[in-house]
């Protein structure tokens, strides 16, 4: 495998991490980003919704030796803090003692990754560079600089499209023969809000992901380093309870008082933020192939998913790790890229399906007594038989060596078993004394 000059489109999370991976192997890397350098402007032009780093993401960061840098800007969350309609709260642990997912600001994380990549002489970032044209036959890329209006053309050996859900490279690929593409939006959108710090202190438990499940809609809150929480309201665009019907001060205040009273009392900037922060859409994008000649897609450019499993970024980081593994296992770029896309496509499809399903769990099931009982039984079975029963959430979030497609397959089997267990007469009173071994034997 030759050392090549690689151009990456997109300096987002996955593009920045990919540049670190390539530079570690001695490649010369140019990263082109249409936005300004937000390390200078101090404004992050992308979505600023907080992210949840879990074991798949951490494993990718550890492989290039930067995990400790990222932990300094991350906050562990050991479970969901469910806020019920009557004001009661309940902490539901994510996994075993000590297991956590980590809240991190998208902007802070992206800034740190770019800074770490930029410290390597083999990586060069080019900001304000909008890619206007891609010739997939010659790998010629044409750019226009939004600040100087200067046009430029380059011809790298390899092109990596890490330019997000509305990728320029993927758009060029869509014009090629036999390229499959599917895009669909959820009927829900999201709006970002804030619970500020009070006297520099958190107003809610900082080591938990807070969730107000209300059936067809929900509010979540993730902690920030400054004592604040980034809140996200997920709500249908249209309908009786929807963004379309929240069109006056009175509507907004009454909606929050009726559904999120404890949060409402901690949100002094609610009306101002509700007016000025946009409603953003939730899109799934699936495509194939991810490779065309000497250009290929990665991260959201190849597989954009909804955020309800907290795995979009983690899946993109895992792409980088798997691609790196392929470079260890194969000698030619043709073999590396072909095996990369064949390996990752089924897993991208699996996590997209899991993320779609998890909206129901987050917005509705976490407040359901039967679901809570299931989680307790699953925890007991995992403790009794750790090698035979791993709950789906644990497989996805804390077991990076179990692929997404394996997790989905095993999770469907577990669903069938748990339905039988939950229908056992008296299970509510007796589950703590049962060993459930007969159900594992039939698994």
Place of tokens 């998208």: 106
pLDDT tens, position by position, 167-191: 999 999 999 999 999 999 999 999 9
| Of 41, 52, 42, 55, the residue nearest 13 (C-alpha) | 52
Query: Which residue numbers in the chain have pLDDT < 50?
Result: 45-47
| Of 360, 324, 438, 361, the residue nearest 22 (C-alpha) | 324
Please provide the size of the chain in residues: 443
Tell me what pLDDT residue 331 has: 92
| Of 261, 231, 242, the residue nearest 83 (C-alpha) | 261
Buried b (16+ CB within 10 A) or exposed e, 369-408: eeeebbbebbbbbbeeeeeebbbbbbbbbbbbeebbbebb
Tell me what pLDDT residue 39 has: 86
Angle, vertex CA 377, rays to CA 374 and CA 383, nearest 5: 140
Rounded to whole angstroms, the Cα distance separating 194 from 231 reads: 5
Beta-carbon contacts of residue 427 (< 8 Å; ≥ 6 apart)? 373, 377, 421, 434
Rounded to whole angstroms, the Cα distance separating 68 from 81 reads: 27
Structure-token pair, residue 235: 């709500």
Tell me what pLDDT residue 41 has: 78
Place of tokens 């009175």: 250
| Of 429, 336, 388, 317, the residue nearest 6 (C-alpha) | 336
| Of 23, 36, 12, the residue nearest 114 (C-alpha) | 12
Tell me what pLDDT residue 48 has: 57
Judging by DSSP bridges, how do beta strands 28-32 and 123-126 pair with one another?
Answer: parallel
Rounded to whole angstroms, the Cα distance separating 193 from 16 reads: 27
3-state helix vs strand vs coil in the chain, percent to 5: 40, 25, 35
Please name every residue paired with 233 in a beta bridge, in sequence order, or none if there are none.
191, 219
Tell me, rounded to whole angstroms, the distance of Cα 294 from its chain centroid: 27
Rounded to whole angstroms, the Cα distance separating 392 from 404 reads: 10
CB 408 within 8 A of CB 353: yes
Dihedral sign from CA coordinates of 309, 314, 316, 318: negative
CB atoms within 10 A of CB 184: 10
Question: What is the pTM for the complete model shown?
Answer: 0.94
Tell me what pLDDT residue 228 has: 96
Bin 270: left if φ > 0, else alpha if -120 < ψ < 50, else beta: alpha
Tell me what pLDDT residue 367 has: 78
pLDDT tens, position by position, 246-269: 989 999 999 999 999 999 999 999
Tell me what pLDDT residue 43 has: 67
Tell me what pLDDT residue 364 has: 77
Rounded to whole angstroms, the Cα distance separating 113 from 36 reads: 16
């Amino acid at each position: 495998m030759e050392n090549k000059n690689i151009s990456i489109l997109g300096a987002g999370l996955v593009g920045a991490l990919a540049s670190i991976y390539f530079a570690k192997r001695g490649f010369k890397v140019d990263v082109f980003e249409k936005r300004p350098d937000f390390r200078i402007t101090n404004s992050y032009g992308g979505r600023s919704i907080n992210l949840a780093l879990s074991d798949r993401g951490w494993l990718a960061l550890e492989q290039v030796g930067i995990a400790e840098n990222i932990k300094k800007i991350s906050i562990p969350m050991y479970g969901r803090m469910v806020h019920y309609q009557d004001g009661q709260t309940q902490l539901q642990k994510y996994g075993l003692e000590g297991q956590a997912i980590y809240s991190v600001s998208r902007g802070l994380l992206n800034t740190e990754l770019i800074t770490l990549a930029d410290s390597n002489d083999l990586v060069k970032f080019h900001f304000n560079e909008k890619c206007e044209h891609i010739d997939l036959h010659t790998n010629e890329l044409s750019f226009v600089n939004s600040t100087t209006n200067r046009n430029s053309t380059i011809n790298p050996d390899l092109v990596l499209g890490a330019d997000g859900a509305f990728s320029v490279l993927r758009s060029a690929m869509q014009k090629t023969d036999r390229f499959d593409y599917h895009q669909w939006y959820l009927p829900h959108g999201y709006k970002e809000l804030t619970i500020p710090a009070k006297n520099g202190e958190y107003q809610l438990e900082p080591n938990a992901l807070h969730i107000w499940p209300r059936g067809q809609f929900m509010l979540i809150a993730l902690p920030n380093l400054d004592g604040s929480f980034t809140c996200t309201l997920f709500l249908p665009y249209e309908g009786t309870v929807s963004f379309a019907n929240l069109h006056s001060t009175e509507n907004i205040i009454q909606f929050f008082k009726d559904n999120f009273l404890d949060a409402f009392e901690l949100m002094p900037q609610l009306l101002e933020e509700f007016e000025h922060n946009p409603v953003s859409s939730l899109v799934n994008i699936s495509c194939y192939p991810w490779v065309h000649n000497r250009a290929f897609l990665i991260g959201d450019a190849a597989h954009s998913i909804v955020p309800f499993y907290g795995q979009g970024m983690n899946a993109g980081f895992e792409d980088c790790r798997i691609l790196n593994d392929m470079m260890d296992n194969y000698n030619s770029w043709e073999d590396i890229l072909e095996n990369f896309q064949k390996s990752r496509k089924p897993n991208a499809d699996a996590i997209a399906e899991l993320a779609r399903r998890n909206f129901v769990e987050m917005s509705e099931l976490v407040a359901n007594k039967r679901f809570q009982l299931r989680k307790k039984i699953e925890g007991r079975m995992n403790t009794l038989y750790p090698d035979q029963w791993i709950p789906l959430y644990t497989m996805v979030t804390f077991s990076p060596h179990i692929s997404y497609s394996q997790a989905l397959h095993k999770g469907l089997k577990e669903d069938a078993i748990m339905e039988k267990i939950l229908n056992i007469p008296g299970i509510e009173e007796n589950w703590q004394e049962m060993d459930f071994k007969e159900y594992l034997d039939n698994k």
